[in-house]
Amino acid sequence: MEKTGFIGLGIMGKPMAKNLLKAGYKLVVYDINEDATAELVNEGAKAGKSSADVASQCEVIITMLPNSPDVKLAVLGKDGVIDGVKTGSVLIDMSSIAPLASREISEKLLQKGAIMLDAPVSGGEPKAVEGTLAIMVGGPEATFNKVKGILEVMGASVKLVGDIGSGNTTKLANQIIVALNIAAIGEAMVLATKAGVDPEKVYQAIRGGLAGSTALDAKMPLILDGNFKPGFRIELHIKDLMNALETASKLEVPSLLTSEVLRIMKSLQSEGKGKDDHGGLIQYYENEARVKVRRKLS
């Protein structure tokens, strides 16, 4: 099996890389956090000296980084992927970045004879650990088919949605829906609690109807326990919504609800809650209504 590169071993990248190791892939890994790299080396990976070094050793390189500037630095910057990449190699960027940034990076790689796919994910840390992420991919179909087996190790749903940049456009749509869904959960459950109705019973009553959702089932049990340990941090969702609003502005698309939820998230970030899970968005409503949505102890 050819070596695969993996750059970016954070809260998402680390479990994704571990799943590739478990599936038998030979990984060359790199992260600016040397402890994260060492942890993967202890599990069988080889450490790369830089992003360029990883690219020089691998036909397929995966990046999983926080935002557009980070991906540009890792790919196009000094000692970046572009300095080591070989003709015919494939870069799979699984970060959630602006679609225009994906297209810009892709064009630069094409000049080196390398092809890029943008393949952002949804599901947060729990599904990254399970290997059951939803992966939405943009790029050439032939390249997608070539690397689909790698992606299927990390995701339960792997879909090609269009040309380069389409993956991140799909991710922006996903993040808008998730953010608004979580905000609706917070608003509704604070209303129910303030009205004196047990929020856990409300949740059980509505989850099988039209108000039911994956977000409701994933976040409500954690909310009831007051558990806002990050699976996907508020500060990262802020980044995604800012990318969504930037894209919407360029396309002249109204985004009133997205703007309001972004305002709420930024308010929580200013209170030091930016590293909380995005399910912690309910804390804004709790603070305003002076009530906590929590499980009743028997």
What positions carry a catalytic annotation? 171
Handedness of CA 261, 69, 43, 4 (dihedral sign): positive
Within 10 angstroms of residue 197's Cβ, the number of other Cβ atoms is: 13
Strands 121-122, 133-138: pairing kind:
antiparallel
Residues in the chain: 298
Q: CA–CA distance from 41 to each of 21, 32, 119, 290 (Å)?
A: 10, 14, 25, 48
Buried b (16+ CB within 10 A) or exposed e, 154-188: bbeebebbebbbbbbbbbbebbbebbbbbbbbbbb
CA 257 to chain centroid, in Å, comes to 21
Residue 45 CA to residue 30 CA, distance in Å, equals 10
Residue carrying the six token digits 């190699």: 89
> What six digits make up the tokens of 32?
């600016």
